[in-house]
């Protein structure tokens, strides 16, 4: 009977426990006290910081050079919408809306790149998990055909986090789950208390993540989506670790994926 293995941030594998269910592959990032999480070696952390510093300088220049023309395009579409409001019908109006939507998408990509490369100041304070998740669900814009099952016990304590950063983390995970379902399926949210950390899982019953892709999904600029940029999960990882938590993923092809975020309890 084979035990499940978790792939650590440096690519090694280690057994976790024995079970009789089909094997689910997984990746762990970050470390929480008392959780037995794998810590990156010091030289790996140093290399990652150096890469981030270099990426931050490049991102700053790119953001400045791209946001100016994007702003001009946005202003032009706004002017056309006002000046030709009675004439923008059919395909012309739809294509103008496509231009505006793509400008918004490009601006979000730039913001994500800056968030990852430069980071944001982290201001942790006691926060209610239910409020963070409610806000995240509102931001995720899941289709009505996706059913959300939430199981958050009433006794879950406050978590010591930057609520804005964690809202973005869960909004990203929920949006990814909705995309994996291709518009129809179930997203489950669960929470539990373990060794002074609140563990929150976001799971979907979609096609799952291929084992060959799983070890790399937290790498910047790596994406399996046709129009993906590969910054959403790296930003999630960066925010979670900045708040003293960890993030891990388990997946079995054909049976969905589960992302679990561990967050420190307030007052510890």
Residue percentage of the chain with pLDDT more than 90: 36
Whether the per-residue pLDDT at 21 is higher than 70: the answer is no
Residue 132 DSSP one-character state: H
**pLDDT averaged over the chain?**
79
Rg (CA), the chain: 20
**Number of Cβ atoms within 10 Å of the Cβ of 111:** 14
86 three-state secondary structure? coil
* Of the listed ranges 52-56, 138-142, 246-250, 263-267, the one predicted with least confidence: 52-56
**pLDDT of the residue at 152:** 93
31-39: average pLDDT: 45
pTM of the model: 0.69
Residues 161-218 have pLDDT tens digits of 999 999 999 999 999 999 889 878 999 999 999 999 999 999 999 999 888 888 888 8
Q: SS3 for 218? A: coil
pLDDT band at 24 (very low <50, low <70, confident <90, very high): low
> What's the average model confidence in pLDDT over 58-74?
83
8-17 pLDDT tens trace? 333 444 444 3
Residue 7 has pLDDT above 70, yes or no: no
Integer CA distances (angstroms), 112 to 12, 109, 193, in order: 29, 5, 31
Q: Answer whether 201's CB lies under 8 Å from 259's CB.
A: yes
d(CA 74, CA 104): 8
**Hunting for tokens 């409001």 — which residue is that?**
85
The average pLDDT across 91-108 equals: 83
Whether residue 49 is predicted with pLDDT greater than 60 in this model: the reply is yes
Expressed in angstroms, the distance from the first to the final Cα of the chain is: 39
Q: How far apart are CA 81 and CA 83, in angstroms?
A: 6
Whether residue 160 is predicted with pLDDT greater than 70 in this model: the reply is: yes
Examine the pLDDT at 134 and tell me if it is beyond 60: yes
pLDDT for position 48: 64
């Amino acid at each position: 009977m084979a035990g499940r293995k978790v792939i650590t941030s440096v690519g090694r594998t280690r057994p976790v426990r024995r079970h009789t269910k089909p094997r689910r592959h997984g990746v762990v990032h970050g470390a929480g006290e008392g959780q037995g999480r794998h810590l990156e070696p010091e030289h790996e952390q140093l290399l990652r910081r150096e890469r981030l510093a270099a990426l931050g300088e490049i991102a700053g220049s790119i953001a400045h050079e791209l946001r100016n023309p994007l702003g001009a395009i946005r202003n032009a579409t706004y002017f056309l919408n006002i000046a030709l409001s009675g004439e923008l019908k059919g395909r012309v109006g739809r294509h103008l809306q496509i231009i505006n939507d793509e400008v918004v998408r490009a601006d979000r990509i730039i913001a994500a790149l800056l968030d990852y490369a430069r980071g944001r100041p982290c201001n942790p304070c006691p926060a209610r998990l239910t409020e963070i998740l409610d806000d995240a669900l509102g931001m995720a814009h899941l289709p009505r055909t996706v059913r959300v099952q939430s199981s958050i016990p009433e006794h879950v304590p406050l978590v010591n986090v930057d609520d804005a950063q964690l809202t973005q983390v869960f909004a990203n995970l929920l949006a990814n789950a909705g995309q994996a379902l291709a518009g129809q399926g179930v997203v489950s949210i669960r929470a539990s208390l373990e060794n002074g950390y609140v563990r929150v899982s976001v799971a979907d019953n979609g096609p799952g993540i291929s084992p060959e892709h799983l070890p790399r999904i937290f790498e910047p600029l790596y994406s399996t989506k046709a129009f993906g940029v590969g910054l959403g999960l790296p930003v999630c990882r960066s925010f979670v670790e900045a708040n003293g938590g960890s993030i891990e993923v388990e997946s079995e092809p054909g049976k969905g994926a589960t992302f679990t975020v561990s967050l420190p309890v307030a007052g510890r």
